[in-house]
Amino acid sequence: MSDVQQRCEQAVDWLLTNQQPDGGWLYEGYGDKSSAMDTGVVLLGLCEAYDRLPQDQQCKVREAVDRGVEYILKCWDGDRKMFWDYPDGGGKEEYMPMYTVHALMGLIAVEKKFPDIAEKHGVSKYIDEALEKLLSMQNDDGSWSNFGPGSWSSPGRCTGLVVWLAEWSGRYGPSDERIAKGLKYIENHLEKSPLGGLISSNGPKIDFTVWDMLAFYFSGDEYYRSFVPKLQEGVLGFQHKDDEFAGAFAAHTSVYDSEYGPEGTAAPCPHKTARVLFALMLTGADPNDDRVKKAVEFLLNTKSQSEGAWFWPTMNDPSKPDNNPMKAYCTGWCLAALGAWLQKVPAKKHGIPVSPLMVALAFIPARRAWQAGTP
């Protein structure tokens, strides 16, 4: 735990140092513009790790979150009720849904963790309008696509993600017809993949199953929640099992950045591993499961040469991890995952684990004494 906490503090320091003057974080290598997508994921990571940070660092995080929110809101297109990736627009309208869901991850996390900052910037209004717009972009079959309704690219890929964000925000549930259709769309694909979740044109994808797992769990519906253990086992079954990549990444396990599972050829990927760990923690998996702890160890041992940052090995030459355009994005995800894991592990006091059960057991003699009238 102390190693994980220290690693989170290093990551936070790196993110604070690399926050841009406009309040956002860069998609590095593509000019000097901050990105709403990357900034949203960084905000998610800062919110998840916040409670376990030292007080002086917490103060700096609050300031960074405030500026990050301000930046994301500059990317808002009030007419279309969506977020551009950059404040000055550009690109195509069909790309806006993918940027919007990433921005929403950060804003919803801020609304939950820092309600005062959310109220200061009127964040709830943006979440309301963006979610309603996203829900209106549902395909006829109940799915959502990366780049808008009817898009040929990754049809259905955003389904679990949109459904989870709508549910996680506390604004929607299965009683909404669009959410119900989305959940049914995911359910209809459960038998088509060894992961137990959605598939791409090339095969099963870790990402899809992670979003599906979150969508089912946060529906609050016992029928859909009954599928979660299967999905948890599905993604854990794709964990890297040998030392082939140990030299390159100084670690021996991860969830693959690949469509093809543990027999594939792609390199282990920190941010894909982080997404799985994050989803496992949010859906009630055991933080002390040996497979979960291996994923934690992988994230501890895999990082960029930049102090505190993680990187995306398939986006660059793995021998040059500093030359990578998505360090902020990957670091945000890894921080979110480790922060979520820390929240699930019992806190320690004077080196002794303290769990809710132990607290309850300790309380019993005092309660009996009080009932008997003993001082």
Largest CA distance in the chain: 73
The per-residue pLDDT for 247 is 22
The per-residue pLDDT for 252 is 27
Residue 368 in tokens: 């009996």
The per-residue pLDDT for 119 is 98
Determine the 3-state secondary structure of 83 from DSSP.
Answer: strand
Cα–Cα distance measured from residue 334 to residue 299, given in angstroms and rounded to the nearest whole number: 7
Find the DSSP H helices in 206-304.
Answer: 206-218, 222-225, 228-236, 246-249, 270-282, 290-301
Choice among 68-77, 131-140, 271-280, 354-363 with the minimum mean pLDDT: 354-363
Residue 125 in tokens: 């209004």
Cα–Cα distance measured from residue 35 to residue 28, given in angstroms and rounded to the nearest whole number: 9
The per-residue pLDDT for 271 is 84
The per-residue pLDDT for 67 is 98
pLDDT at residue 120 greater than cutoff 60: yes
Cα–Cα distance measured from residue 23 to residue 309, given in angstroms and rounded to the nearest whole number: 18
pLDDT at residue 374 greater than cutoff 60: no
Q: Sort strands 82-83 and 76-77 into parallel, antiparallel or unpaired.
A: antiparallel
pLDDT at residue 239 greater than cutoff 80: no
Choice among 29-43, 188-202, 303-317, 323-337 with the minimum mean pLDDT: 188-202
Average of per-residue pLDDT across 314-333: 73
Is the torsion defined by CA of 155, 158, 162, 163 positive or negative? positive
Per-residue pLDDT of 252-311, as tens digits, reads 234 444 433 444 445 667 888 898 899 999 999 999 998 888 889 888 887 776 778 988
CA nearest neighbour of 109 among 77, 61, 75: 61
pLDDT at residue 32 greater than cutoff 60: yes
Which own/partner pairs from 88-96 qualify as long-range (CB within 8 Å, at least 24 positions apart)?
93/148, 94/147, 94/148, 94/151, 95/147, 96/148
Q: DSSP letter string over 342-357?
A: HHHSPPEETTEE--HH
The per-residue pLDDT for 250 is 23
Cα–Cα distance measured from residue 205 to residue 198, given in angstroms and rounded to the nearest whole number: 7
The per-residue pLDDT for 369 is 37
pLDDT class of 251 with cuts at 50, 70, 90: very low
Task: Tell me how crowded residue 286 is: count the other CB atoms within 10 A of its CB.
Answer: 13
Determine the 3-state secondary structure of 256 from DSSP.
Answer: strand
The per-residue pLDDT for 373 is 38
Contact 39, 72 (CB under 8 A): yes
Q: Residues with Cβ < 8 Å from 11, sequence gap 6 or more?
A: 45, 49, 308, 309, 310, 331, 334, 335, 338
The per-residue pLDDT for 226 is 94
Token pair 């989170």 is found at 8
Choice among 66-70, 109-113, 230-234, 310-314 with the minimum mean pLDDT: 310-314
Token pair 């979740």 is found at 197
Return the bridge partners of 177, or none. none
Per-residue pLDDT of 40-76, as tens digits, reads 999 999 999 999 999 999 999 999 999 999 999 999 9
pTM for the whole structure:
0.85
pLDDT, greater one: 345 or 365: 345
* Residues 312/247/259/137 CA torsion (nearest 10 deg): -20
pLDDT class of 1 with cuts at 50, 70, 90: confident
The per-residue pLDDT for 57 is 98
Please state, for a pLDDT cut of 90, what percent of the chain lies above it.
Answer: 49
Is the torsion defined by CA of 18, 19, 21, 27 positive or negative? positive
The per-residue pLDDT for 196 is 52
How many CA atoms lie less than 13 Å away from 142 in the CB half-sphere?
17
The per-residue pLDDT for 41 is 98
The per-residue pLDDT for 269 is 75
Cα–Cα distance measured from residue 323 to residue 329, given in angstroms and rounded to the nearest whole number: 14
pLDDT class of 216 with cuts at 50, 70, 90: very high
Average of per-residue pLDDT across 89-109: 83
Residue 285 in tokens: 């998996």
The per-residue pLDDT for 350 is 35
pLDDT class of 318 with cuts at 50, 70, 90: low
Mean per-residue pLDDT of the chain: 80
Token pair 């990571």 is found at 45
Average of per-residue pLDDT across 236-262: 45
Would you give the DSSP letter of residue 34? E
